[in-house]
Each structure stands twice: as structure tokens, then as C-alpha cells.
Amino acid sequence: MVIAMKQRLLACCVLMLLAFGVRAELVIEVTQGVDAPTPIAVVPFGWSGGTPLPEDIAEIVSTDLYRSGFFSAMKRSDMLSFPQQQAQVFFRDWRVSGQNYLLIGRVTSAGGEQLQVTYELYDVLKETRVFGEQISGSTRNMRDMAHYIADAVFEKLTGLRGAFSTRIAYVTAQNQGGGRHRYSLQLADADGARARTILESREPIMSPSWSKDGSKLAYVSFESSRPGIYVQHLATGKREKIQSFAGLNGAPAWAPDGQRLALTLSKDGNPEIYTLDLARRQLTRVTHHYGIDTEPTWSPDGQSILFTSDRGGQPQIYRVYLSDRRIERVTFEGNYNSSGKLTQDGRFLAMVHRSAGAGAAFNIAVQDLKTGRLDILTQTSLDESPTIAPNGSIVLYATQQGNTGVLAAVSLDGRVRFRMPSSSGDVREPAWSPYLQ
């Protein structure tokens, strides 16, 4: 009897344990998804004024979102309606058309050139209003208003700060015949629009670099007898020549603290990496190697500098730690890696890459410094000078289209590629600004 009771008790305990296991809450794990952007419909904003507006805000927002690589914008021709207010929204239509989000808005005149833009973002699947805002501006800065809206929507839906209101700087070269060229330092919106020249020279202009506050540009100009490093204040246009040693003076890069520049100088006979304290004008040599060390770029924490060097026999990217001058090689894949640029989080390194093997092209590649994985993002040849949007979503680079250099962009995951609006001349050396104040 006692044995039977013990067996019974044991059986009950076992069954209870099993029952607990059975009754555990169901958790389903999803590890795969669709490698596709999120669909969004940006409906043309309503306008109650008589004369047409100079800019199509909805179109600018839609393009911005599409070029980010995160979104796929619905074509206007596919839209069943153009609601401007919530009462006019029929979520079912947008849901059937496969959209996740819907952005509507309307523009009203606030007197004179002043405008008021009201926009609202809706979650089609939840059939809820995500957020909305009313902003003011003038007809002259409608693009800024559009980029602002795109930034807001982007940040709301992706969690990343939008970089559509940033600027890009690049150099154009116009062949004036007779072997003469006219070089211009251009400043444009992130989408390439509203480009304007901030410097022109008959001598080459190279390696523009934004200060961390976005107020200054450093670049190399050959306008004097030898290359010099200049810093130009964008607001005032004031220029300042920082260094001009004999030999090579190039590739300035702003330190994150905005107080230093990393430079490539060959004043000691061999191109080496230096840092320059702008306040004290104190120059510090960082590298000491007979190979060529050039194209420095700062790590986000300012503790190290990545640079290109052929000390290994082939151009590769190395890292030098400023505290102890310790140097380590960063890239190993391919026989050519140069012009490295780090994302703001310091994890990804965009670079010009050439794979090993005959006939390989120069492409833009991204290497995950955490895992060492390298991905080639572009399929064109002769790609150069990569620069990364401050939110790390897009890599802008220069490439060749025929015999003309153009700007192109690719999302960091390689999903979206597009070309910037063509500018006159040969376009090269783009530099993406940081977030602007």
C-alpha cells in the first residue's frame, strides 16, 4: 500500500512537472524577414492658393524617403485618391494597395510668401494617426520644409535621425579647353539640389572635409605655388590657410572635437600622418614609416585615426591609436583598400575596394569592424571618395559615367542605389556634412 502511494505521488509529481511544461506560454521566434523597404504613400499635399507652388513638397519627401533605402514610395499614378484630411482617408484602400503608412498634408498661405504646411502620418495597418505637425516657412525654403518633414517621418518610423536636411560638398571640374580646367567647390542639399559654388579656382581643389559642427570646410587647394590646406567658414565665406609645407599637403580630416585636424604631410620626405592643433598650430607626427601613409579619418571617439598605407606592399587601411601610436591593420580582403570613412557609431568602414584578381574594378565596399565582414556595395567601376551620411544610412561616392565623373549613392545595405542630379562638369570628392544646427 505504501509503495503504491509512493508510486502514485511520484507519478503525480512527474505529471505536474510535465503539465507545467505543457502550460508554458507560447513564444514564437521569427528570425527571417523580407529584405524589402517599407511601403509608404506620400499623397500630394493640398494647396488652396491660386498660383502653383514652386516646389512639390510631397514629391521631395517621397524621394528622400525612397533614397534612404528604408522606404518604397507609392507612385501617384497608383493612388486611388488624394486625401488631405483624416476624414478623407479610407484605410482599406491603402491597405489593399499594400501600403503600411500614409502621409497626407496641405499647404495654406499665411500671407505674402509665408506658408503653413500641415502634415499627418497614418498607420494604415493599425488605422491610427502616428503623428502630425504644422510648420511654417516661405516659398523660398519649401525644400527645407520638405526635408524637415522627411526627416521627421524617417525618424518616427525608423528610429534613426533623418539626414535629408544635411548638405553635401563636392568638387566639380569643368574642362575649359587647352588643358585648362575650372574647379569649383560646390555645396548642395543632400539630394543634390540647390547646388551652389563656394569656391572656384583654376587650380585643383581636393579633399573637402566638414567640421563637426558643419560650419566650416577644410580642403586642399593648389591655388598657390604649392598645395595648401585651407579652412573656410561657410556662413561668412572667410577662408584660412592652415598649413602649406613643402611637398605633399593633403587629406585634411576634422577631429570629432573640432580642435584638431589630421593631415598628410610629406614635409619630412615621406607622406606621413600628422595631427594639427588648430588653436596652437602645433603639428604632431603620428606615423613613422617609409611607406606612404595618407587619407586619415578619425574614429568617432577621437582616440584613433584610420589611414591608408602601402606599408604592406599594397594599399590597405590601418588604424593608429594616438595614445601609444600602436598600429593595426584593419582591412585584409582585396588587394586595394583606401579612402576609409567610418560611420558615426564607428562600426562600419566604407572604402574604395578592389578585389583580388585580374581585371577587378574599384568599388565601394563596407566592412563591419565588429565581425570583419566586407560587402561590396556598388557594381560600377572607378568608384572613389566614399562619404557616409551622418545617420549611416547612405554612402555617397564619386564614380565615372562615360568619361564624366558623377555622384552616386548607395544605401549602406546596398539595397538602394541612385545617382545624384547631374551637375555640369566632372564631379568628384564628395563630402557629406554632419547634422546641421
Partner 1 sequence: MDKRSYLVPGLLAFLLHVAVLLLLAGHWFDHADPRELQPRHIQAQMVDLGAVSQALEKQTEQARRAEEARKKDEQRKLNEREQAQEKQRQQELAAQEKAKKAAQAQEQKVRDEQAAKEKSVKEAEQKAETQRQQKEQADVLAKAKAAETKAAAEAKQKAQEQAKLATEKKKQVEDLAKAAADKKKQADDQARRAAEKKQADEQAKLAAEKKKQADLAAKAKAETEAKRVAEAKRKQEEQQRKEADKARELAQLEKELAQEQQKMAADRASQQLTVSMGDYIRSELERYWRISSASRNGMEAVVEIRLFPSGEVDSANLVLSSGDSGFDTTAVQAVYKVDRFSRLTELDPLTFERNFRKFRVKFRPEGLRW
The string of DSSP letters for 137-163 reads EEGGGHHHHHHHHHHHHHHHHHSSPP-
Is 341 within 8 Å of 297 (Cβ atoms)? yes
13, 17, 19, 246: residue in contact with partner 1 (rule CB under 8 A): 19
| Residue among 332, 288, 338, 348 nearest 309 (CA) | 338
- Closest distance to partner 1 from the beta carbon of 416 (Å): 9
Q: Residues 313-352: x/- map of binding to partner 1 (CB under 8 A)?
A: ----------------------------------xx----
Stretch that binds partner 1, among 15-23, 198-206, 243-251, 382-390 (CB under 8 A): 15-23
Residues in the chain: 437
Residues 109-148 that bind partner 1 (CB under 8 A): 123, 125-126
20, 28, 87, 257: residue in contact with partner 1 (rule CB under 8 A): 28
Is 275 within 8 Å of 261 (Cβ atoms)? yes
Is residue 194 part of the contact set for partner 1 (CB under 8 A)?
no
First to last CA, the chain: 85
Give the separation between CA 417 and CA 427, rounded to whole angstroms. Answer: 17
Q: Residues 150-189: x/- map of binding to partner 1 (CB under 8 A)?
A: -------xxxx-----------------------------
Cβ-based nearer residue to partner 1, 33 or 54 = 33
Q: Which amino acid is at 203?
A: E
Give the separation between CA 309 and CA 298, rounded to whole angstroms. Answer: 15
Cβ-based nearer residue to partner 1, 30 or 279 = 30
Cα–Cα distances in angstroms (integers) from residue 261 to residues 297, 309, 318, in the given order: 9, 19, 18
- Closest distance to partner 1 from the beta carbon of 247 (Å): 39
Residues 59-98 that bind partner 1 (CB under 8 A): 69-70
Is 383 within 8 Å of 428 (Cβ atoms)? no
Residues 346-385 that bind partner 1 (CB under 8 A): 347-348, 368, 370-371, 373, 375
| Residue among 199, 219, 200, 203 nearest 211 (CA) | 219
13, 17, 20, 35: residue in contact with partner 1 (rule CB under 8 A): 35
Give the separation between CA 29 and CA 143, rounded to whole angstroms. Answer: 43
Cβ-based nearer residue to partner 1, 36 or 279 = 36
Residues 278-307 that bind partner 1 (CB under 8 A): none
Q: Residues 390-409: x/- map of binding to partner 1 (CB under 8 A)?
A: --xx----------------
31, 51, 225, 437: residue in contact with partner 1 (rule CB under 8 A): 31
**Chain centroid to CA 57:** 22
Cβ-based nearer residue to partner 1, 47 or 432 = 432
Burial class for 148, CB neighbours closer than 10 Å (0-12, 13-18, 19+): buried
Cβ-based nearer residue to partner 1, 285 or 370 = 370
Sort strands 374-376 and 384-388 into parallel, antiparallel or unpaired. Answer: unpaired
Segment (H or E) for 49: none
Stretch that binds partner 1, among 235-243, 263-271, 333-341, 411-419 (CB under 8 A): 411-419
Is residue 228 part of the contact set for partner 1 (CB under 8 A)?
no
Binding site for partner 1 (CB under 8 A): 1, 4, 7-8, 11-12, 15, 18-19, 22-23, 25-38, 69-70, 100, 123, 125-126, 157-160, 347-348, 368, 370-371, 373, 375, 392-393, 411-415
